[in-house]
Amino acid sequence: MLPTLGDFRRDQLAVAALFSFLGFQYATWASRLPALKDRFDLGGTEVGLLLTAAGVGAAVSFPLVAPLMRRLGARRLALWSALVLVAVLPVLAAAGGYPLALLVIFVDGVAVGCLNVAMNAQGAALESHYGRAAMAQLHATFSGGSLGGALLASGVNTVTRSVTAHFAVAAVLGVLLLAGSRPRVLTDAPAPPAGERPAKDGRKGLKGLTGASRTALWLGCAMVFGTVVEGAMNDWSALYLTEETGASGRLAPLGIAVVSVMMVLARLLGDGWRGRWGDARMVRVGSTAAGAGLALALLTGGTWPALIGFACVGLGMATVTPCLSAVIGFVAGRTDLTTGMAVVAASAVLVAVCSWRVRFEEREAPGEAAPTAAAGGPG
C-alpha cells in the first residue's frame, strides 16, 4: 500500500516532537540561568564555564554517536537521549553546588549531541521514505519548542520563583511530549554498504584544496560565527536583560521567547523567501540585519530596545543551526554583559563576511526536495 499524505503528516509530527522537545528542554534551563547564577553565586566567567560544560559534553558525544547509532539505531538513540534530558532537569534543580551543576550540564551536552544527530537522521529518513521536503518545518518546531520553554519559564516565575517546581513541571510536559511521539517515530533506514567510502584527495594544505573544499572551509567559518550568535541568544539573553537593563525575572525569559518567535516565523516562510531571493542574499542580508539590529539595541540601552534587537537576531539568523557560545562568558567575566553581547553583534556581521566566500547553488524548482545532511544542528 502506497504511503498517503496523512501517513506523512503523522510521521512528520512524531519526528517534529523530538525537535520541539530539544528546543523546549534547552530553553527551560537556559531561561533560568539568572536564578542558577544567584543560587551558586557565580560571576560571568563561571557562567561561561557552565555553558562550556555543555559544549564539551556535545563534543564528547561526537565520537560516541556513530557506534551508538549502529548499536541502537536512530530511533532508540533519540528516545533514550531524550529521556536523559528529561532527567537532567530535576537533577539540576536539586544540585547542591557548582561542581555538581557542571557535571549535570556536561551530561546534558552529551545527550543533546546524541539526540541532535539521531533526530536529524530521523528527518532525513522521513524525507527519503516519502519523497517530500520536511527539514525546514522540522527545524521550525525546534524554535517553537524553545518558545514554549521560555513562555513556561515566564509563566511559572509569576507564580513561584522555585526552580525545582518549574523544572518538575517541564519534566512532566517533556515526558508527555515523548510519549505522544514514540509510536510514530520512524524505524531506521538501511545504512549504506560498509565498503563505500568517499574518495580521498591526496593533495594536502590550503593551496591544494579544490574550489569545493575552500568553499566548505569558508562555509565552516560562517557556521562557527553563526552558532555563536544563536547560541548566545539562548544562553545570555536572560542574564543580559536582568543585569544590564534591570528587567524583572518575569520579563527575562522573553529574550529567548522573542528570538524563538521570529525564528519560527522565518523558518515557516523561509522556503518561499529562499526561492524568491536565493540562499546567498538570505544569508548576507539576514546576518547583517541581525548584527546591525543588535548593535543598535546595545547602543540605545534598555529592556525594550534589547528585545527588538533580539528579534532582529531571530529573524536574521533563522537559518543558522543552534549551538554553543561559551566565549561570551569569558568576555563578560573580564568586562560586562554589554561587551559580551557586542561580540554577538560582531559575530553576526562576520557571518555575512564569510558568506561572500561561499558559492551558493541555485535553488531547485518548487516542490523538489533539496539534499539534506543526516546529522547536524536542529536550528
| DSSP sequence for 246-277 | ---TTTTTHHHHHHHHHHHHHHHHHHHHHHHH
Q: Report yes or no on 371 lying in a domain.
A: no
Report whether pLDDT(192) > 50. Answer: no
With respect to residue 369, please indicate whether it lies within any of the assigned structural domains. Answer: no
Which has more confidence, 127 or 2? Answer: 127
Q: Give the model confidence (pLDDT) of 310-364 as tens digits.
A: 999 988 887 654 333 353 334 444 455 565 555 556 666 666 666 666 666 554 5
pLDDT score recorded for residue 319: 62
pLDDT in tens, 88-102: 999 999 998 999 999
For residue 345, the model assigns a pLDDT of 62
Give the residue from 138, 158, 188 where a domain finishes: 188
Residues 51 and 152 placed together within one structural domain of the fold:
yes
In a domain, 349, yes or no: yes
- What is the maximal distance between C-alpha atoms in the chain? 63
pLDDT of residue 1: 54
Q: Is 347 exposed, middle or buried (0-12, 13-18, 19+ CB in 10 A)?
A: buried
Cα end-to-end span (Å), the chain: 34
pLDDT of res. 118:
85
> Is position 7 within any domain?
yes
Half-sphere exposure for 371 (CA within 13 Å, toward CB)? 3
| Backbone conformation region of residue 302, classed left if phi is above 0, alpha if psi is from -120 to 50, else beta | left
Q: What is the mean pLDDT of residues 111-127?
A: 84
Mean pLDDT across 142-153: 88
| pLDDT tens figures, 235-247 | 778 888 888 888 8
Task: State the Cα–Cα distance between residues 252 and 238, nearest whole angstrom.
Answer: 5
pLDDT at residue number 106:
94
- State residue 2's pLDDT score: 58
Query: In this structure, are 181 and 220 located in the same domain?
Result: no
Distance, in Å, from the CA atom of 339 to the CA atom of 341, rounded to the nearest integer, reads 5
Structural domain total, the chain:
2
Ranking 25-29, 33-37, 173-177, 249-253 by mean pLDDT, the lowest is 249-253
Asked whether residue 32 falls in the same domain as residue 178, the answer is yes
Domain's final residue, options 188, 222, 254: 188
For residues 47 and 173, membership in a common domain is answered with: yes
Q: Which of 203, 211, 263 is nearest to 237 (CA)?
A: 263
Q: Answer yes or no: do 163 and 214 share one domain.
A: no
Q: Residue 376 falls within a domain, yes or no?
A: no
**How far is Cα 296 from Cα 275, in angstroms, rounded to an integer?**
30
| 189, 129 contact by CB (below 8 A) | yes
- Say if residue 183 is in the same domain as residue 70: yes
Regarding whether 6 and 153 lie in a shared domain, the answer is: yes
Mean pLDDT value of segment 192-212: 43
Do the domain assignments include residue 316?
yes
Q: How many CB atoms lie within 10 A of CB 215?
A: 15
Mean pLDDT of 126-152: 81
CATH of the domain at 43: 1.20.1250.20
Is 228 found in the same domain as 141?
Answer: no
Does residue 375 lie within any of the structural domains?
no
Ranges of H-type helices in the chain: 5-30, 33-40, 44-94, 98-130, 135-159, 163-181, 211-244, 254-277, 279-300, 303-316, 327-334, 337-355
Indicate if 297 and 357 belong to the same structural domain.
Answer: yes
Give the range of the structural domain holding residue 112, as residue numbers without chain letter: 1-188
Interval 53-62: pLDDT, tens: 887 888 788 7
- The whole-number pLDDT of residue 154 equals 87
In terms of domains, do 177 and 253 share one?
no
What angle (nearest 5°) sits at the alpha carbon of residue 220, between those of residues 218 and 225? 100
Average pLDDT rounded to a whole number, residues 281-288: 80
The more confidently predicted of residues 344 and 126 is 126
What number of H helices and E strands is found in the chain?
12, 0
pLDDT for 14 beyond 90 = no
* 29 and 127 together in one domain: yes
Q: Is residue 5 part of a domain?
A: yes
Does the pLDDT value for residue 174 go beyond 90?
Answer: yes
Instruction: Decide if pLDDT at 167 tops 60.
Output: yes
What is the rounded average pLDDT of the residues 283-291? 84
- Higher-confidence residue of 150 and 2: namely 150
Distance from C-alpha of 254 to C-alpha of 250, rounded to nearest angstrom: 8
**91 and 43 co-located in one domain:** yes
pLDDT at 366 > cutoff 60: no
